Homo-oligomer: A and B are copies of this chain.
Amino acid sequence: MSRLSVELPGLHLKNPVMPASGCFGFGREYSQFFNLDILGAIMIKATTPEPRFGNPTPRVAETSSGMLNAIGLQNPGLEKVISEELAWLGGYDVPIIANVAGSQITDYVKVASDISKVPNVKALELNISCPNVKEGGIAFGTVPEVAKEVTKAVKEVSSVPVYVKLSPNVSNIVEMAKAVEEGGADGLTMINTLVGMRLDLKTGKPILSNRTGGLSGPAIKPVALRMIYEVSQQVSIPIIGMGGIATAEDVIEFFYAGASAVAVGTANFVDPFVCPTIIEELPKLLDELGFDHISECTGRSWKQNEAVTNYRP
């Protein structure tokens, strides 16, 4: 399996496949389906300093090849995440990427400082892009200067490398990526959800009680690929790609665009076994495509190289 192993700042990954934040809880539910040890890493649910209940229901709505969510960062709070969830995950041999959220810079600093000291937390993912939090979360993710500030502040207190999660709801994604790179980010994760909406035909009102929500799933894959393609050519830090991934072929497409690892979100809801299935399929697909190691795929769309030719699906 070493043809799938990937080395990223803070992360020695058996393979480049990990569940995306918010789509895997803290792993307990999926541990009934398969052994979490097989995963490259786990991105746990967003953690805020204090517990949050989140938004009223309905919190999800379906769209063509996608879904909207407005969970509202529900989580048991920093203390319980560390004492209960991360402690439980400590029983597995899998690196944890902790998703850090909040409404103001001090929140991020507080969570980052404490959670980065937990032994199985190998990296942080700064969630400056959640579209469902009102008190300023969105501004962090769309204003380069602010994003840089948060990154800097978190880098100062974090004991592990810091990945910043970029929002796709911006005019210029490259500018955002460069700003957080300047702020000291060790890597990027992208993309978070696009802001979307559905209306109820019967009532005329939004389906989500929060009115708008984050669009995820296969529908957003082309937007994610484009942004990773653009950003990966302009920054020198690695990218963990996500947005609609559901198959091993999707993983390769994200690598071609410029990703060095990937996260699977919504697809876990459709098929709880999607991560193990992808991990099993990847070596076969590498064979068909004629690659020895998955990292050869990274950035192939823009790097000078020979086209892969021996592939017949």
Contacts and interface: CB of A to CB of B under 8 A. Distances in A.
Contacts of A244: 64
Nearest to A195: B226
Interface in A211-231: 211-212, 215, 217-223, 225-226, 229
The listed residue with most B CB atoms (<10 A of its CB), out of A195, A196, A217, A305, is A196
Nearest to A254: B199
A242 to B, nearest CB: 15
Interface in A178-213: 194-199, 201-206, 211-212
A46 to B, nearest CB: 21
A31 to B, nearest CB: 29
A270 interface: no
A168 to B, nearest CB: 9
Chain A contact patch, size range: 35 or more
A229 B212 contact: yes
A5 to B, nearest CB: 21
A226 B244 CA distance: 20
A171 B142 contact: yes
A42 interface: no
What number of copies of this chain does the assembly contain? 2
A207 B66 CA distance: 22
B311 A219 contact: no
A219 B257 contact: no
Contact of A226 (B65, B212, B297, B300): B212
Contacts of A204: 256, 297, 300-301, 305, 307-308
Interface of A: 63-66, 68, 142, 169-172, 194-199, 201-206, 211-212, 215, 217-223, 225-226, 229, 244, 249, 252-253, 256-257, 289, 297, 300-301, 305, 307-309, 311, 313
27 contacts: A63-B219, A63-B222, A64-B218, A64-B219, A64-B221, A64-B244, A65-B219, A194-B223, A195-B226, A196-B222, A196-B226, A197-B222, A197-B225, A198-B222, A198-B253, A199-B253, A199-B256, A199-B301, A201-B253, A202-B309, A204-B256, A205-B256, A205-B307, A215-B223, A218-B219, A219-B219, A219-B220
Given A68-B222, A196-B226, A204-B256, 15 more contacts: A63-B218, A65-B219, A142-B171, A142-B172, A194-B222, A198-B225, A199-B253, A199-B256, A201-B313, A202-B307, A203-B309, A204-B308, A205-B256, A206-B229, A215-B222
